Amino acid sequence: MSAVTDRPEEVSDAVLQLKDVEMTFPDGTQALRGISLTIKKGELVSIIGPSGAGKSTFMRSLNRLNTPTAGSIVFEGQDVMRARGKELREIRRRIGMVFQHFNLIKRSQTYHNVLHGRLGYMPTLKGSFGRFSKEDTEKAFEVLRRVGLEEHMFKRADELSGGQQQRVGIARAIIQEPSLLLADEPIASLDPSSSENVMNYLKQVCEEDGLTSIVNLHQVDFAKKFAHRIIGIKAGEVVFDGAPRELTDGIIDYLYYKK
């Protein structure tokens, strides 16, 4: 099955462009194989595929948490692969991240966890002491209201349910004021009701803020319901790229069941 991997007509409004991206780990495992994609402004893109397909490696390569071994990644006109030091920090500041296991400081209050999204805008010493401005604190309160957590602002993070903690993770990413939001399996550990809530809030804030978002999902039904575009990855390669309505049962069977 061939992949649709480039959309030249959309390059003019591209937020992210990948060309021939590969990732080979030191043990010889090739996690990504020649991935070429263009992601345009405002898209909510879902990445699907079986466990071990390379989805998380792909996601972590976009902000250089992993450094690919070949290819190019251009984010808003900047060469991510060549970025170093201050330039790389500035790129990462414009890329928000929502994690599968929330990555919250459990004993800290909810609003304080959200404020950590502002650390990239603060001097290192000031940030290490958690000296956030009144303006940033008010932003944290506002973002928590947007994700329906106004009644939980002063609770410790470990007092919240899993779905609520993930919404804190979304709020933390949003207060960062990114132009690209990455979410790596954000609903993997949640029940169906909480998953629905989290995906609704994620899509809502992305649409309201005009964000581009890339979301790794195991749940194909949620990908079809919430994404504008679905990309299927298998064995490190893109094997499907299209609208949710184009994702047929045959393609799903090929992605998950056929070797």
H or E element at residue 59: helix 55-62
- Residue at 78 is within a domain: yes
Indicate the burial class of 247 (C-beta count within 10 angstroms; 0-12, 13-18, 19 or more): buried
Nearest to 140 by CA among 175, 106, 103, 99: 175
- Residue at 248 is within a domain: yes
Q: Are 140 and 111 in contact (CB under 8 A)?
A: yes
Distance in angstroms (rounded) separating the CA atoms of residues 27 and 22: 15
Count: domains in the chain: 1
CATH code (residue 47): 3.40.50.300
Indicate the length of the chain as a whole number: 259
- Residue at 144 is within a domain: no
- Residue at 236 is within a domain: yes
Token pair in block for residue 154:
């002063």
Distance in angstroms (rounded) separating the CA atoms of residues 102 and 110: 12
DSSP 217: -
pLDDT at 12: 62
- Residue at 177 is within a domain: no
CB atoms within 10 A of CB 138: 10
Nearest to 10 by CA among 47, 34, 35, 42: 42
Rounded to an integer, the average pLDDT of 38-47 is 95
Place 10 in a pLDDT band, splitting at 50, 70 and 90: very low
- Residue at 135 is within a domain: no
Place 13 in a pLDDT band, splitting at 50, 70 and 90: confident
pLDDT at 2: 39
Domain extent, residue 36, equals: 1-94+214-259
Rounded (to 5) percent helix, strand, coil in the chain = 40, 25, 35
Q: Is the pLDDT of residue 127 over 70?
A: no
Could you report the per-residue pLDDT of 68-120, keeping only the tens digit for each? Answer: 999 999 999 999 999 999 999 999 999 999 998 889 999 999 999 999 999 88
- Residue at 115 is within a domain: no
- Residue at 28 is within a domain: yes
Distance in angstroms (rounded) separating the CA atoms of residues 201 and 105: 22
> SS3 for 244?
helix
Distance in angstroms (rounded) separating the CA atoms of residues 4 and 195: 29
List residues bridging with 21 in a β-sheet. Answer: 35
Distance in angstroms (rounded) separating the CA atoms of residues 63 and 45: 16
